[in-house]
Chain A
Amino acid sequence: MSEKRTAAEKETLREILPEVGTEHRLPATPPPAQYSIETLVPEVRQQTPAVGQRATRLDARLHGLGQTKYIDDLAFPGMLHAKIKRAGVASARIVCIDTRAAEAVPGVMAVLTGREIPVNSFGPSIQDQPVLADERVFHAGDGVAAVAAVTEQIATEALERIVVEYEPLSAVFDPIDAMKEDAPRVHPPAGNVYAHKVIRKGDVERGFAESDRVFEGRYATQMVEHVPIEPHAAIAQWDSNGRLTVHSTLGRITLGRTDLARTLKLPVNRVQVVGTIVGGNFGGKNEISQEPVLALLARKAGRPVKGVYTRREEFVASTTRHPIVMDYKTGVRRDGRILARKVRLVLDGGAYCSWSETTLGKACILSAGPYKIEHLHAEAFAVYTNKTVTGAMRGFGAPQVCFAYESHMDEIAAALGIDPLEIRLLNAFDEGSSSPTGQTLESVVVKASLLKAAQRFGWREPRS
């Protein structure tokens, strides 16, 4: 090609284009390293080049300029807006759903109900949650139908034209009650206890027998909603090769892709999930939610469909932190040394499993606290209730049990007349201590941290 250019053309090109010689081409094979490559394994607590150094967040500039594009900032030609009708009843049989009036609203391009979902179940571990409730409603936040329309306003108004007839069923709201034999079953015929874990170490009854005093206490935490300032949002669109692309606030896009493909009965290679900067996740955006609904609406309408949760939906229809009822029984020597601990945790597992199993596991393992306990029995249950789905939230079960074992520790200290700091120093893990599940712990800094904090707070100084 270059031979066909005149000399004059080449001269002009040379002026305006930089000289690119073969030495600037990337080699087909990388050159041998000029320096020795060694794997650096830093010593524990040794300063490494990166840790502790200051760095500017790469996204800081875009955030400050308002240039970061979150999902709701994206739009595509022809895009429709979807809204989901929420059940508003905790437990019911759906007798019938009539969407004809909604379909007739001008500007409504597609309406969807549960029976149109190819595989109407999803979930990160147990697939017990329907995409849209079809025959049964399990909690008030269940979606029962969805609409895609040219504006959000039309979609919202069309939702009200959808008539759903419910036959109320008995419901259970307290997890302890839900464990009883005669409690209403949330997901019949299965019982309400859907996950269980036991950790046994030593002989806890022997430990109590050897204790000078035994303390018992019940601690309970409440349901917490993540309240990310950015609501859940997603945009689904298909191409003419039958490939689905979903832009979503979803955090775990690989997991979500698989779950999404499963609900739509698509091979995974037909599904692309695009994640982007998320406006707060904290665990609440760790699994699919409205994505299958938006995908099916988009397929029906032949146009991209965007769905954004209202703030109210964030509270009733998105996942929350598990409330846990925690029963502690601890045997101690009179000097405060813990000999035995028995823990029972009952996690309010909400209407669906979501991330309850992971939460259960972590809560159970961490329930003993960072303390050397020779005899331990920790048993945890996740129990269905007809309430908002409980799932992943920062800490994953740790904050709840921390509240319990630390409150318990303070109460024991007060009863024994021992300083709350001293009782912890007496019992806390050391380097090489064994965790409740037998893991040998390294980099243990519990006592050093407590002492440093105590010094900073002026713990030992006289208080007014």
Chain B
Amino acid sequence: MRAFKLVAARDSGHAVALLTEHGPSVKVLAGGTDLLVDLKSAADVPDVVLDISRAADLKGIAVTERGLRIGALVTHTEIMRSPLVREAVPVLADAAHTIGAVQTRNLGTLGGNLVTCVPSMDSGPALIALDACVAVAGPNGTRELPLAEFFVGPRKTALAPGELLVAIVIPTESLGKPCSFLKFGLRKGQALALVNVAASAWIDPDRHAFVAPRIALGAVAPTVIRAPQAEASLEGRAVTPEAMAEAGRIAATEAQPISDFRASAEYRRELVAVLTRRALAAACARAEGAR
């Protein structure tokens, strides 16, 4: 790896100050599972690497009046083991478990996964399906925005210069919402997703119908996207295998997959249809289990 200057932040405020001080040629280091890989093959290297891995206020999972707040530095392993997560949003633990392997889950952070922002990210779909927001700290203070707006394009987020992702918030109204995440990769471990899908919905107990369905698709568009037409086909509709299969078919048309050496666009569309159907069924099974 090429030489760089390493500075360390005590907390998020210090990190923001250091970002402002050192200007645009700074890379933020958290778990290192993406950044260090990039630095080892990069043609040019940043002058400064800002290590935020010891910023204590970016750790921790807690229930606040806004919902469940997950610090940006929380690792995938910590998400898998968190009693709060397993209680309120177990789908996040499922998604975290599909990332890499034990070693990379022990290092990799939720914030890092979101900021790296590849279309196939495994943490994104479930968070989108739960209407998550993110908290961003900058020189002018902290702002909140929906996660869907945070993703701008492949490897491009809404972070302005000098800004730092500090937390992910799953709003109170989404806590306990039945949600399922499925990933299809060429291996069971250490694999990128060819397609990943999250689906969430409340089930109206009287009508046995979908309420507030959400379908999030990954690896089939420049960012993680919703499938609004598929969602609309489910809203208020009775929960039946046919409804779920149709939602899958519609979602497949809303995907914009590419063909690459891993899979063709056609195959990815087929995966969207199947995984959407299965994720909906699994979410419904979770709803049944909760009742």
Contact = CB atoms under 8 A, between A and B. Distances in A.
A and B part of one assembly: yes
A157 interface: yes
A125 interface: no
A407 interface: no
A280 B3 CA distance: 32
A157 B1 CA distance: 9
Nearest to B43: A160
B275 to A, nearest CB: 26
A254 interface: no
Contacts of B1: 153
B35 to A, nearest CB: 18
Nearest to A312: B41
A157 B3 CA distance: 10
Nearest to B3: A153
B2 interface: yes
User: For the side of the interface on A, what is the size category?
Assistant: under 10
Interface in A140-154: 153
A157 B2 CA distance: 8
Interface string A151-167: 00100010000000000
A153 B2 CA distance: 7
A153 B1 CA distance: 6
A42 B3 CA distance: 64
Contacts of B2: 153, 157
A420 to B, nearest CB: 28
Interface string B1-23: 11100000000000000000000
Interface in B111-144: none
B214 to A, nearest CB: 38
A366 B3 CA distance: 53
Interface in B1-60: 1-3
A157 B43 CA distance: 10
A313 to B, nearest CB: 13
Contacts of A153: 1-3
A157 B4 CA distance: 14
B72 to A, nearest CB: 30
Interface string B63-89: 000000000000000000000000000
A93 to B, nearest CB: 26
A242 B1 CA distance: 35
Interface in A146-192: 153, 157
B216 to A, nearest CB: 34
B186 to A, nearest CB: 14
Nearest to B1: A153
A153 to B, nearest CB: 7
B20 to A, nearest CB: 30
Interface string A189-226: 00000000000000000000000000000000000000
B204 to A, nearest CB: 39
A157 B44 CA distance: 11
Nearest to A160: B43
A153 B3 CA distance: 8
Interface of B: 1-3
4 contacts: A153-B1, A153-B2, A153-B3, A157-B2
What 4 A-B pairs have minimum CB-CB distances, sorted nearest first? A157-B2, A153-B2, A153-B1, A153-B3
